[in-house]
Structure 1
Amino acid sequence: ATTNSAKVEEMSRFVVATVLGLASQAAALQVGFRAPGVTAPRAASVVMQTQVESLVSANSALIDELAKIGPDVSELTRLRFAMQFPDPAEAKAAMKENVAWRAGAGKSIVESAAKAVAEATAGGGWDNEPVRLAAPHATAINEFVSPKNILTLSTAKGDLVYVIRASGVDDKTMMSKVSVDQVVDFFLYAKEIHSLVANARSKQSGRLCNVIFANDITGTRKPPDALFGKALTASSKSFEKLYPGLAGPTMILNLPFILQAFVGLFKPLFPKSVQARLKFTQAPVLSKLGELTILTTDAGKRKSFLNEIDNLLDDGFYATKGNM
């Protein structure tokens, strides 16, 4: 019994470590996504426009205050700051840090991301090659981060769905070729890309678009590499203040059977901010896939998976009932 208990505890901790590493940084890891554009029916756009306008109106005082700190920061970004940090002092401190980073240490990352997105959308669709090639240290890192293990899809409403299969990332080999700082730069660049895409969608549709994280635990047998974990920790400290308000539900999918009965025990191991967005469930369509690449090439499988995600979220974003 003691051996089984220790095994459950060990497995619980590596699942948590994996999810915190790849779920919270999923967006950062994915720069190989398919065309992010979404076309909503006109009637729906009219309805959704009210959502953004009402959010801006409800947070207008703080949004205006933040404009004094970051006059060049878009209204949508200021809205996300206001919603993430309702305490004015905290919001202003985060905005100051953001503005300072963008003008200093992050300037080259921000400029590269803006240029890459402009090139990616120049043809009216989305050409991801400029984005992948412009990523910091792309030659080394892109060898390990690809649509085989991490990719991005779109919901009908325009939210981004980042699908991560942790077991497909050879982080140990990757970290033997790149430094912690190089990986952090890569994460920050990718997060800037995602911010630009999410804000563009929100502006186009009038609906504040979020990022849904779909973390597939299928095949995961070990925790992240120590150096990779260090890079994730270092970058995550910056993400909350540099890119607030992008995260939506965090779904932990296809948890090993041995852990399904212990969700209530290891859920507290996650930070409270993550706990509020967690949903543990099974995703049969996803679990039966080999490499994730097929979701970008097979329209039928992609539709089935997105329907699966929609159904799981409709069942109750915070629920764990009946899905284990």
Structure 2
Amino acid sequence: MTAEIPNLARTAQLIKQAVHKLELDLSGLTVLTEAASGPYAVTPVIAAMAGAKRVLAITADSSYATADEVIRQTRSLESLCGLPQRVEIFQERHLALFAEADIVTNLGFVRPLDAKVVLSMRRGSVVPLMCEAWEYRPQDLDLRACQQQGVHVFATNEDFPAIDVFAYSGWLALKMLFEAGIEIHRSKVVVVSGDKFGRVIEQRLQANGVDVMRVDRLDREIIAGADAVILADYARLDEIIGEGGDVTAADVSRFMPGGVVICFAGRADVRGLGANGVRVHPNRELPARRMGLTLAHLGARPVVDLHAAGLKVGELACRGVEADSAFSALMQKM
């Protein structure tokens, strides 16, 4: 099944709005990013709309779309944004592409930025992470190699008022609960999290009539009688539900009969839960430091705003004006 752009015309408008409100100006800069499908088709088009000298985009066949379909979506979005076909799309990941770029994003088809890749990059080039600093994954980017090569790395403040992207985490949790058959109002939900995701989700659930409890660790007493447990501990590496976890799949079945487990971020024994009759959403195993569903599950705006903000971070770092800009609070040091 191909991941489609949900509303092409609206997505084009969101791109124009984001470029305007962030005063994104990539003139004179070459950007290397990915060409992807669905809401993630936006990134190279944002760069082109912001006047980048060149936009290089890597793509490939994936479970979401073929490379040909990605190219079609990119061209359609360019056209709706009133752009000529400026995005240069490549179906192979050549080191020469990295050597050309001033800004290299850390997105799917561009990753991993390992030592071999980083050593091909220009000294003084920038990697803007499309996430906050605490969400950094070492397997995606070799920070030490960046330091040795003189490549600057900054993360993006998702709470910056012009975008307020991190707040969508709470809305995503609500949507996932609805999809799992939980009515929200007057439902009892346990959120297990020791990080920012949990705090934001807890606040959004409370504002919508949920009887919510946020904890760092689960036990049988905590889950007893709950309608749902949301796993939302992005930074936690061990299994939260499973034989070696806080509680077992059998515990969940016994102490919260009919309840559901929402895998927002965090590891669980999904197969064991299913074998014990527990509904899991989404119903797949997650590695540590991964979200079950991304903010794109809500629509295009969170992706557009976050990726435009990340490109703004790249712009500021390339031009060396991060300390003197009204947008300096967008940047987070690594």
Interval of TM-score (by shorter of Structure 1 and Structure 2): under 0.3
TM-score using structure 1 length: 0.26
More strand by share: 2
Say which one has the larger Rg.
Answer: 2
More helix by share: 1
